[in-house]
Amino acid sequence: TYNELLQKLPPGDRDCLIQRVETAIATGLPYQVDLHPIHPDGSLHYLDARGEPVFDDQGRVVKLVGVSMDITDRKRVALALQESEARFRQLAETVEEGFFVYETETDQYSYINPAYWSVRGLPPDSRADSMEQWLSGIHPDDRARIDAALEQERQGKNFDQEYRYFTPSGELRWLRSKAFPLCDQTGQVVRIVGTVENITERKQAEAERRRTEAALRQSEARFRSAFNDAPYGISLVSVTGQFVLANAYYCTLLGYTEAELLSLNFKDITHPDDWAADWAGFKSLMGGETPSYQMEKRYLSKQGEVIPVIVNAAPIHDENGQPLYSVGHVQDIRDRLAVNRMKDEFISVVSHELRTPITAIQGALALLGAGVYANRPEKARHMLDIALANSDRLVRLVDEIFSFSRLESGQVQL
């Protein structure tokens, strides 16, 4: 019965149906109402209930004739669609990427999320624009590439391009656009769904990284040139004393190839009598007790030759301050030692040559000063001649030394 039907309805639906029925009876107008009855099994259904009044000859409503259609499946699909659309809008309107739906038949955007305008540098309340307005902002050098990609898109191929774009304020940005054409049953593109992203910061970071890498390569090239072409030996040694790197001068000095040196410890090429002091200095350096150390030591070449050198070493640390390597500069001092020996020999010879006339002068003057030849003028004159002759000799020796010194400095020509 009608009353039984009313009891099957939720209170809101019950009141709505009663009102519509009473209105239809009073006014003679048809009605339509959505109902949500609960079936005996407890399931909720959706009904589309419609009714029309039936009149007697006097125009009075005598009964209602109507139909009720179960639209549960259709309603559930509609609700699911609404829920899906709500989720889509929530997602699309919160992401930082611009999102759009473009209808090819009307050449208009049917949906654009707020981020789309921000990416393009437009105010949030901007009206949907045309594709030509977007294309007009693309950098001229990128336009031909974008046009070619759009032509492929019209044939159903995905669009994925990075390009430079001028905002209405004149700011140059890097954008990345992705688009996915949707086709109908005939294969014609009817809709394009896509995203646009502001990648300016990423591009700037990439450019900065490339500049840094270029500067690093240039720095490494300068270092390697300075390392390999240095006029003295340079080596890199690990904390255990193992060779890590050695330049050409160092290899040539010791008669080893670089590969041979890298298989050795610096103990292997150090004179046994110098090893203890060398190792003590190395441990002090790598232990952080001294910032650097210098030592005069002897190497043993591959051929067994003893090579005197001066080593200057300093540590290289990692980012945590831990020692990684020791870099050493090695100077061959064989020529310097030979020069020192020659200098010593020269000083010895000069000292002897100077001592001889000085001794003669001192002896002659001492005899004259003592009055030994006071009564022998001829002998006194002879002593004086000896002193004068040796004085002249002494002057010539000193002049020759000065001339030799000036000759070495390039101030005198032969």
CA angle 372, 376, 381 (to 5 degrees): 90
What is the 3-state secondary structure of 319-384? Answer: CCCCEEEEEEEEEECHHHHHHHHHHHHHHHHHHHHHHHHHHHHHHHHHHHHHCCCCCCHHHHHHHH
Lowest mean pLDDT among 42-46, 168-172, 286-290, 369-373: 369-373
pLDDT of residue 414 exceeding 70: no
Sign of the torsion formed by the C-alpha atoms of 86, 87, 90 and 95:
negative
pLDDT of residue 93: 67
pLDDT of residue 237: 92
More confident residue, 316 or 226: 316
pLDDT of residue 125 exceeding 70: no
pLDDT of residue 52: 94
pLDDT of residue 264: 93
More confident residue, 391 or 128: 391
pLDDT of residue 297: 93
Rounded distance, CA 129 to CA 135, Å?
11
pLDDT of residue 393 exceeding 90: no
Q: Quick one: pLDDT band at residue 88, thresholds 50, 70, 90?
A: low
Instruction: Please check whether residue 131 is in contact with residue 153, taking contact to mean a CB–CB distance below 8 angstroms.
Output: no
347 forms bridges with which residues in the sheet? none
Count Cβ atoms below 10 Å from residue 139 Cβ, excluding itself: 14
Average pLDDT for 267-293: 91
Residue with tokens 């390697």: 224
pLDDT of residue 124 exceeding 80: no
pLDDT of residue 319: 86
Burial tier of 326 (Cβ tally within 10 Å: 0-12, 13-18, 19+)? buried
pLDDT of residue 209: 92
Residues 6+ apart with CB under 8 A from 57: none
Rounded distance, CA 254 to CA 308, Å?
11
Rounded distance, CA 264 to CA 255, Å?
13
Average pLDDT for 273-293: 91
CA angle 167, 168, 174 (to 5 degrees): 5
Count Cβ atoms below 10 Å from residue 250 Cβ, excluding itself: 23
pLDDT of residue 33: 93
Q: How far apart are the first and last CA of the chain?
A: 144
pLDDT of residue 347: 79
CA angle 350, 354, 358 (to 5 degrees): 170
pLDDT of residue 224: 82
Q: Which two tokens stand for residue 99?
A: 């999102």
Q: Which two tokens stand for residue 11?
A: 């209170």
pLDDT of residue 128: 54
pLDDT of residue 97: 85
DSSP assigned state of 42: S
pTM exceeds 0.75: no
Query: Which of 198-202, 228-232, 353-357: highest mean pLDDT?
Result: 198-202
Average pLDDT for 18-37: 91
Assign 317 to helix, strand or coil: strand
DSSP assigned state of 266: G
Q: Which of 123, 129, 119 is nearest to 98 (CA)?
A: 119
Amino acid letter at 177? Answer: S
C-alpha separations of 62 from 49, 317, 374 in Å: 19, 103, 183
Rounded distance, CA 176 to CA 165, Å?
10
- Tens-digit pLDDT profile for residues 242-252: 999 999 999 99
Instruction: Please check whether residue 307 is in contact with residue 298, taking contact to mean a CB–CB distance below 8 angstroms.
Output: yes
DSSP assigned state of 52: E
pLDDT of residue 315: 92
- Tens-digit pLDDT profile for residues 148-167: 999 999 899 999 999 999 99
Instruction: Tell me the percentage of the chain whose pLDDT exceeds 90.
Output: 44
Mean pLDDT of the chain: 87
- Tens-digit pLDDT profile for residues 396-412: 888 887 777 776 666 66
Average pLDDT for 274-295: 91
